[in-house]
């Protein structure tokens, strides 16, 4: 079961260059992504109406996307426009077409009711377009868990002190004792954490060479179903970050885009932008490497978690204080799922 009436990231724009067909499963739908003759992104069901061959095994021809088995050609609306050897096209010769929007370096897709697919509902992320101030290196990971476990992961940052002790995390106590403000939003939750006069984590020190304690912040903005905008940073302790003076230290903007592939697997699109040494490509690359190392640690733990949840299906789980933002996020997702399905949600676990 998926939340379908919303935009998900289908791909980074650069993953779909002209002439290339990209097969990708989203919300358990098999989809082929491509660009039409005008260069505009398009998405069709990856299944020829004739004999079921995947359209992603075909190729682009001037008239559209041609099946590689018997040559039928489809337009971006999914209607067949050419059948080899016959003049008439039967009305049933078509496949499902998905609304897509290209924005902020992403190709967004809508797998629900197309009539509700309003492009204005795509949550903007303008920093992706500001390469000068926010240079970044895009990445996509395949993750072996339900997309909600990834949302959970990002909504409870106490895991930084355990999972990422040696990378972006640092001292567990610092994270546990962080001052945290949580705000419910119309379609998600926002939280800010402050770790004043704290020891900077290894990643921060490597990036800008802190010598002593820092005032450190983490701002997270979750937009259901799958977008999380993060702004984190630190300046030398006592230099006014908490009061608003956040320039001159370490700062990063991190995009987390989570798209369900199947009930048990997800696509994780991310990019970290360095808000320091912006003219130095090595800074961007170093940040990427640090984040990649940390995210691989997350991928290991959430996949193990998924396997355990699958094995122990009807066991109750407990919420703890640190789950404050996470519980809000889950409630939003569960409400959305219940709305779409018209029935109470069979949750993955019992709180």
Q: Is the peptide bond before 225 cis (omega within 30 degrees of 0)?
A: yes
The answer to the question of residue 43 lying near its own copies (CB under 8 A) is no
CA–CA dist 162, 297 (Å, integer): 10
Site for its own copies in 187-216 (CB under 8 A): none
Do the beta carbons of residue 6 and residue 117 sit within 8 Å?
Answer: no
Task: Provide, rounded to whole angstroms, the least separation between the CB of residue 22 and its own copies.
Answer: 15
From 1-9, 44-52, 116-124, 128-136, span contacting its own copies (CB under 8 A): 44-52
How many CB atoms sit inside 10 A of residue 139's CB? 15
Q: What strand order describes the sheet that includes 29-35?
A: 22-26, 29-35, 41-45
Task: Provide, rounded to whole angstroms, the least separation between the CB of residue 158 and its own copies.
Answer: 5
CA–CA dist 230, 192 (Å, integer): 10
**Binding string, residues 13-42; x marks residues near its own copies by CB under 8 A:** -----------------x------------
Buried-exposed string 168-197: b where 16+ CB fall within 10 A, e elsewhere: bbbbeebbeebebebeeeebbbbbbbbbee
**With contacts defined by CB under 8 A, how many residues of the chain interact with its own copies?**
54
From 111-119, 156-164, 201-209, 329-337, span contacting its own copies (CB under 8 A): 156-164
From 124-132, 155-163, 182-190, 224-232, span contacting its own copies (CB under 8 A): 155-163
From 182-190, 228-236, 249-257, 296-304, span contacting its own copies (CB under 8 A): 296-304
The answer to the question of residue 322 lying near its own copies (CB under 8 A) is yes
The answer to the question of residue 81 lying near its own copies (CB under 8 A) is no
Residue with smaller CB distance to its own copies, 160 or 207: 160
Q: Which residues contact 289 (CB under 8 A, 6 or more apart)?
A: none
From 43-51, 128-136, 195-203, 282-290, span contacting its own copies (CB under 8 A): 43-51
Which string of DSSP letters, residue by residue, matches 12-78? EGGGS-TT--EEEEETTEEEEEEE-TTS-EEEEESS-TTT---GGGSEEETTEEEPTTT--EE-TTS
Do the beta carbons of residue 98 and residue 92 sit within 8 Å?
Answer: no
Per CB under 8 A, residues contacting its own copies are 30, 45-47, 49-54, 57-58, 66-72, 83-86, 90, 92-93, 152, 156, 158-159, 161-163, 172, 176-177, 300-301, 304-305, 307-309, 311-312, 315-322, 349
């Amino acid at each position: 079961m998926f939340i379908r009436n919303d935009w998900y990231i289908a791909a980074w724009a650069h993953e779909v260059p002209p002439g290339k067909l990209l097969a990708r499963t989203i919300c358990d739908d098999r989809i082929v992504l491509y660009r039409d003759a005008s260069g505009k992104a398009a998405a069709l069901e990856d299944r020829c109406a004739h004999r079921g061959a995947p359209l992603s095994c075909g190729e682009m021809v001037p008239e559209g996307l041609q099946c590689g088995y018997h040559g039928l050609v489809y337009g971006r609306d999914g209607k067949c426009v050419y059948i080899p050897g016959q003049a008439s096209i039967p009305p049933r010769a078509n496949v499902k077409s998905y609304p897509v929007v290209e924005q902020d370096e992403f190709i967004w897709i809508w797998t629900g009711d197309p009539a509700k697919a309003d492009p204005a509902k795509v949550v903007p992320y303008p920093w992706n377009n500001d390469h000068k101030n926010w240079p970044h290196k895009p990445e996509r990971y395949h993750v072996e868990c339900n997309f909600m476990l990834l949302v959970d992961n990002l909504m409870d940052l106490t895991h930084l002190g355990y999972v990422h002790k040696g990378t972006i995390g640092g001292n567990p106590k610092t994270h546990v004792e962080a001052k945290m403000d949580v705000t419910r939003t119309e379609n998600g939750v926002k939280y800010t954490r402050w770790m004043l006069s704290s020891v900077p984590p290894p990643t921060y020190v490597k990036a800008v060479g802190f010598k002593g304690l820092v005032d450190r912040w983490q701002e997270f903005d979750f937009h259901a179903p799958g977008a999380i905008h993060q702004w984190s940073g630190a300046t030398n302790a006592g230099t006014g970050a908490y009061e608003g003076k956040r320039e001159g230290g370490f700062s990063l903007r991190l995009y987390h885009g989570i798209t369900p592939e199947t009930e048990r697997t997800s696509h994780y699109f991310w990019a970290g932008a360095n808000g320091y040494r912006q003219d130095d490509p090595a800074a961007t690359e170093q940040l990427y490497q640090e984040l990649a190392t940390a995210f691989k640690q997350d991928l290991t733990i959430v996949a193990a978690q998924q396997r355990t949840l699958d094995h122990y299906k009807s066991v109750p789980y407990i919420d703890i204080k640190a789950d404050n933002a996470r519980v809000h996020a889950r409630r939003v997702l569960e409400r959305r799922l219940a709305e779409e399905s018209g029935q109470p949600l069979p949750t993955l676990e019992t709180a």
